[in-house]
Amino acid sequence: MCGHSFGFKQLAWCLGLSCLAVAARADSLGFRKEVVYAAGQSPLIGLTDVNHDGKWDIVVNADGSNVMQVLFGESKGKFGAGRHVKTGLAPGYPYSADVNEDGNVDVVSANYTGGSVNVFLGSSNGDFKLHEQLNSGVNPSVLGLYDFNADGHVDIAAANKGGNSVGIYLGNGDGTFETRSDYAAGSVPEGFLSDVNRDGRMDIVLANTQGNTLSVLLGNPDGSFQAALNSITGTSPRVSGVFDFNFDGKYDLVVWNTQDTTASIFLGNGDGTFKPGVNYQVGMQPYGHIADVNRDGKVDLISTNFGDNTVSVLLGNSDGTFKAASVYSATALGNMMRAIVTDVNHDDKPDIVAPNYASYYVSVFLGNGDGTFQAKQDFKTGAGPGLILVADFNFDGKQDLAVENLQDASVSVLLNDGVK
C-alpha cells in the first residue's frame, strides 16, 4: 500500500557536522486548510482503491481502538467514512493484495499485542470481513506480501519482534494459508523484502533493533529461507533502503543507527553478504530515506533526526561514499519523524516533507535541484503526525498529502494548491 507559503531570508544551520549558509530565493506553495477525518485511536494508514472507482481510498487501522475502517475517496479530494471492522489487539499497518484471487482488494495486518496475523477479504463495494486469524509468534509485524514459492498465490512474511524470528505463511489462493514456518532472526527484528542477491527470488532484510545486527535471509525456490547472514551495525538499527550505491552491479544497504547519530553504508558482495559498515554522522535518533536530490544519477541520504529536530542531507559519490551532511532546522521541539521525498511544487526538483511528531505540523523543504533546500515551511495537521502518504486525491495534477495523527485519533488530508 501505499505503503505523501514558502519564502525565506539569509539562513544558517549548524549541528557540529557542517554549517551551511544559503541566500535562497523565495518560492511560494500552499496547501489548503487541512480536512480532518475521525479515524480511531493511533491510526495507521495505507492507500489503495478498494472499491474500483478510480479514486484513492485510505485504509486505517486504529492501533488504540482495535478496528479497521476505510475512508472512501470522493470527488474533489474529499473522503467518506466506511463501516468499522473489528481487528485483534493493536493492529499494525495494513497491506493490500488480492489474496483469494477474486479481483477485489484484500487487507492483511498483524495484531501486535493480540499475537495474530489477520486476513480481511474485500468485496467490490469496499466492505471487508475478517476471514482468517493466523497464529503468529510474539508481537508480530507484517514485512510484506509476495509470491515466495512462485505458485501464483500471495504469501505473507511477518517479523515476530518478541520471538526474534520471521514467520512465513504460504498462500493457497483462496484466502487461506499454510501453517506458519519460522526462521530465526536477531533481537526484535524489523525490515522489508528485497532481492538483495539479484537471483530473482525475494529475500528478507532485517535490522535487529535490540541486537545491533543486520540479518539477510536469502529466499529458496520453494518459498523457504536460508539461515540468516549477519552483520554488525550501530546501536538500535533501522533499515530503509537497498540500492547500488557504487555502481558495481551489486545491491548495497543503508542502516540508520537510531541511538548513536550515524548512518551505516554496507556495500554488497553480490551474494547476500556485505562488507563491514562505514559510518556517516547525521543527527540524533536518525531514520531516513534515499533519493537522488541533486539529480546527478547518484543516490543521496536524507536523515530526519527525531532527537534534535533537524534534517541531514548527505550527497552521494559514485564510489559508494557520501559527502559530509548539510543540516537543516525543523520545528522547535518537533521530534521529526521519517521524511518522504517528492516534488510537491512540480518544478522537477525533489522536495522533503517531514512530520513533526511533538507538534501539529508537517514541514516542507523545497529543493533547489542541486542538493540544497530552502527553509522549512510548516503546514498544520492534527496532534502527533506520523506517516505521510502522497497522492493526487483530487486529480488536479498536484501532489496532496494524507497524514496519520497518532495522538488525536484522526487523519489529515492537505490538498495542494500549488505554486502561488
Closest CA to 183 of 233, 142, 224: 224
**Beta partners for residue 177, in sequence order:** 171
Exposure pattern of 78-113 as b/e (b: 16+ CB <10 Å)?
Answer: bbeebeebebbebbbbbbbbbbbbeebbbbbbbbbe
CB 217 within 8 A of CB 194: no
Please write the tens of the pLDDT for every residue from 215-272.
999 999 999 999 999 999 999 999 988 999 999 999 999 999 999 999 999 999 999 9
Residue 329 C-beta-side C-alpha neighbours within 13 Å: 15
Q: Which amino acid is at 349?
A: K
- Quickly list DSSP for 282-306: --SSEEEEEE-TT-SSS-EEEEEET
Q: For residue 24, is pLDDT > 50?
A: no
| Predicted TM-score of the model (pTM) | 0.91
Q: Under a CB-based contact definition with an 8 Å cutoff, are residues 263 and 286 in contact?
A: yes
Of 119, 222, 224, residue with least CA distance to 174: 119
User: What is the distance between the alpha carbons of residues 274 and 268, in angstroms, rounded to a whole number?
Assistant: 4
**Type of residue found at 66:** N
- All 3 cell numbers of residue 170? 504460504
Chain segment 294-330, per-residue pLDDT in tens: 999 999 999 999 999 999 999 999 999 999 999 998 7
pLDDT tens column, 64-113: 999 999 999 998 999 999 889 999 899 999 999 999 999 999 999 999 99
Cα 390 to Cα 398: distance, rounded to the nearest angstrom: 10
**CA nearest to 372, candidates 340, 309, 328:** 328
Confidence of residue 418 (pLDDT cuts 50, 70, 90): confident
Per-residue pLDDT at 10 exceeds 60: no
What does the pLDDT read at residue 330?
A: 79
pLDDT tens for residues 349-365? 999 999 999 989 999 99
Query: Quick check: 20 pLDDT over 50?
Result: no
Q: Is the model's pLDDT at 400 over the cut of 50? A: yes
